Amino acid sequence: MRTRSGVLRGVVLLAFLLVSILVAAAVGSVAISPVNVGRMLLSRILGFDSIERTWTAAEELIVMQVRLPRVLLAAVIGGGLSAAGVLFQGILRNPLADPYIIGVSSGASLGAAAALLFFIPAGLGWYGTLPLYAFAGAVGATFIVYRVGLMHGRLHPTNLILAGVAVGALFTAMVSFMMVFKIQNLQDVYMWLMGSLSGRGWRQLGAAAPYVLAGSAVAVLFAPKLDVYLLGEETAHSLGIDVQRLQKQVLAIGALIAAACVAVSGVIGFVGLMVPHAVRIWIGPKHTRLTVYAFLAGAIFLVVADTLARTVFSPIELPVGIVTAMTGGPFFIYLMRRS
Amino acid sequence: MHEGRLIEFDRVSFAYSSEPVLEDLAFGLYPGQFVGIVGPNGAGKSTVLKLMNRLLAPSKGEVRIAGRSVSEYSLKELARLIAFVPQEPEYFPFTVRELVTLGRSPYRSGYGSVSPRDAEIVEEAMREAGVVEFADRPVDQLSGGERQRVTVARALAQKTPILLLDEPTNHLDIEHQLHICRLLQAKANAGMTCVAVLHDLNLVASYCHEVLVLDLGRLVAHGAPGGVLTPELVQEVYHVHIPDIRHPVTGRPVIAP
């Protein structure tokens, strides 16, 4: 019974995601009907030549080159951050864990800020090598935190969290330090620190999606082990799980997903903390379902949030990180009070 | 090695960095016994259990299970030989059935779903531990005694010849204490080897086939409780004086000041 209703919920979520992608690609300063967006996709992507062109060339350009890649990127990043949140909350056995807890965001911020302030000409950040700098920073910080958290060859979740806080504070201070002395490009740095998908396209999608999708798929494969791990390290060991190896593998996968997300979008907060919790309240703690549903729910959430970010105060765009915190925070409090 | 010994400690010592915890332990346990491990706080009782299932590795000597050093088994093989009920199990809002089903994970390859045979074993384990009536309730809504029985059910679902329990009767009222001890005794009579760290000497005296007495990291006595739990030993190990009383019905020792 549980399984069947579980699958049904998954289908409902998937349908929601597809609808939200169509609607999000239709909404904007030039309004296009979602039906036409759907027809466009069928004709362009699936190659149905028989579909009558009920849209203009300009509309097609807007959807295919501007909106669709950004909407898909929002889906991938929202899903990836949520799947990574599930991994970190599970392996650190800490409900406050999020994808950034072991230094991914502060490292990426340092890499991105250094690039924007010193290496990349103003306004060109998103067309250049910025994601590479951010990704390198994220991986570097994660590695430092990992080394600090490792004691006598063993990982201790508490040490790891404390190391993440310490390294995070250090790197954040270094970013602020740089921002005091270099003031050109500050706007870009601010946008980055708050998390934004503005101006992103196929290129960023192509860069992040392989890591995020492959990482999330592997995360699902680790789900049964994470279920056992929830019973405690000693119990997991006695059920045949190499706890140390599992911790290292899961941290590596989570950090990779989070680094790929943060590299192209900046620090979009709250998604990776809230979505796993909300989904856990909804469907329970079993990780197979939890990972899949959190990915889908996170994708929907960020697609909607990013659409709000670019339309509500149009032509001004908000960093989507502000929208996720402003809408997600109250919703999260409501969920917690209710359950 | 000695013929027929399922668990064997061959001159085992264990130390945390330089702090010795166990010294030169040598004993063997045979199948079908309910063995109690007793001793004052800090005697190294939990350490003995953890050496058996390789949560810890001896600094000297060898622990053998069925004639083979524990270090030679893969973790999965070990999980099919030894189940473990830790002192403070952690709970997540799994349902009882979901949690007990996790006991089958050493037999499942990666992503296999629960087979009918697994489901049968899970039902049987829940029945034995007396948790069937709340099989579909979340574990975190149960009382401490009920949770403990769920953990025992999860361990039974592992279908291992050896079951280790670290203070399984802690925090339980007398009804639940007796329920667990009777269950372990019955499992032992059916061929399982149950080794439990216990604080209550009377439970050990009443239910265990054998008792290991540890003091300051050394094994000071090993044998049937009737011969081991004497006023002299209790005086020596616990520094308390008890009269020599026997249970009027069973004839086993009664430890009362």
Q: Give the residue extent of every domain in chain A.
A: 2-338
Closest Cβ–Cβ partner in B55, B92, B102 for A234: B55
Decide if B79 contacts A238 (C-beta within 8 A). Answer: yes
For residue A284, which residues of chain B lie inside 8 Å, CB to CB? 93-95
Structure tokens at A185: 């490009």
Q: From the CA of B81, how many Å to the nearest CA of chain A?
A: 10
pLDDT(A4) > 60? no
Which of A227, A232, A241 has the CB atom closest to B90's CB atom? A232
A228 vs B55, B102, B110: nearest CB? B102
The pLDDT score that the predictor gives to residue B223 is 95
| Residue A291 clears pLDDT 90, i.e. is over it | yes
Q: Average pLDDT of chain A?
A: 88
Six token digits for residue A157: 């979740």
Q: Check if B86 contacts A (Cβ < 8 Å).
A: yes
Task: Classify strands B193-197 and B34-38 as parallel, antiparallel or unpaired.
Answer: parallel
Which residues between 24 and 83 in chain B have a beta carbon less than 8 angstroms from any beta carbon of chain A?
50, 53-55, 74-76, 78-80, 82-83
pLDDT of residue A193: 86
Q: Is A186 helix (H, G, I), strand (E, B) or coil?
A: helix
- Stretch B95-118: mean pLDDT, rounded? 86
How confident is residue A189, by pLDDT bands cut at 50, 70 and 90? confident
Nearest to A235 among B82, B84, B93 (CB): B84
Mean of pLDDT values over A158-185: 87
Burial annotation A311-326 (CB, 10 A radius, 16+ → b, else e): eeeeeebbbbbbbbbe
pTM for the whole structure: 0.90
Reported as type and span, the H/E element at residue B231 is: helix B231-238
Q: Which of A190, A175, A135, A186 is nearest to A317 (CA)?
A: A190
B84 and chain A in contact, CB less than 8 A: yes
Residue range A158-168: mean pLDDT, rounded: 90
Highest mean predicted confidence (pLDDT) among A112-121, A327-336, B79-88: B79-88
- CATH classification (class only), A2-338: mainly alpha
Pick from B50, B75, B164: CB nearest A241? B75
A231 to chain B nearest CA, in Å?
5
Q: A202-221 and A130-149 are packed helices; what angle lies between their axes, rounded to 10 degrees?
A: 30
Q: Closest Cα to residue B47, out of B73, B24, B22, B81?
A: B22
- Note the pLDDT of residue B112: 62
Closest-CA residue to B238 (of B212, B216, B208): B216
Residue type present at position A28 = G
Q: If you search the block for the tokens 């390294």, which residue do you land on?
A: A167
**For A164-182, what is the mean pLDDT?**
89
The reported pLDDT for the residue numbered A1 is 37
Lowest-confidence segment of A110-114, B162-166, B188-192, B202-206 by average pLDDT:
A110-114
Q: Which of B55, B75, B94 sits opposite A240 (nearest CB)?
A: B75
CB contact under 8 A, B55 and A238: yes
Closest CA to B104 of B120, B88, B118: B118
How do residues A237-281 score in pLDDT, each as one tens digit? 999 999 999 999 999 999 999 999 998 898 998 899 999 999 998
pLDDT exceeds cutoff 70 at B10: yes
Range picked from A109-118, B12-21, B203-212 for highest mean pLDDT: B203-212
Say if residue B195's pLDDT is above 80: yes
Chain A residues lying within 8 Å of B106, measured CB to CB: 239-240
Q: Report the distance separating Cα B254 and Cα B249, nearest Å.
A: 11
- The angle that helices A68-91 and A202-221 make with each other, rounded to 10 degrees, is 30
Residue B115 forms contact with A (CB below 8 Å): no
Q: What percent of chain B has pLDDT over 70?
A: 98
What residues in A contact B82, CB-CB < 8 Å? 238
Output the pLDDT for position B2. Answer: 64
A245: distance to nearest CA of chain B, Å? 12
Output the six-digit token pair for B238: 């616990």
Residue A124 has pLDDT above 60, yes or no: no
Q: What are phi and psi of B165, to 5 degrees?
A: -135, 125
User: Across residues A2-8, what is the average pLDDT?
Assistant: 68
Q: Which of B51, B94, B137 to mutate to test the interface with A (most CBs of A within 10 A)?
A: B94
For the sheet with B68-69, list strands across it: B19-29, B7-16, B60-65, B68-69
- Across the range B221-240, mean pLDDT stands at 93
Report how far residue A80's alpha carbon sits from residue B141's, in angstroms, rounded to the nearest whole number. 32
Question: How many Å apart are CA A193 and CA A189, to the nearest integer?
Answer: 6
* Residue A273 DSSP SS3: helix
Please give the Cα distance from A27 to A36 (Å, whole number). Answer: 12
Alpha carbon distance B155, B102 (integer Å) = 9
Taking contacts as CB-CB distances below 8 angstroms, the residues of chain A near B79 are 238-240
CA-CA-CA-CA dihedral for A308, A311, A315, A318, to nearest 10: 10
B83 to chain A: nearest residue by CA? A238
* CA B257 – CA A1 distance, rounded (Å): 56
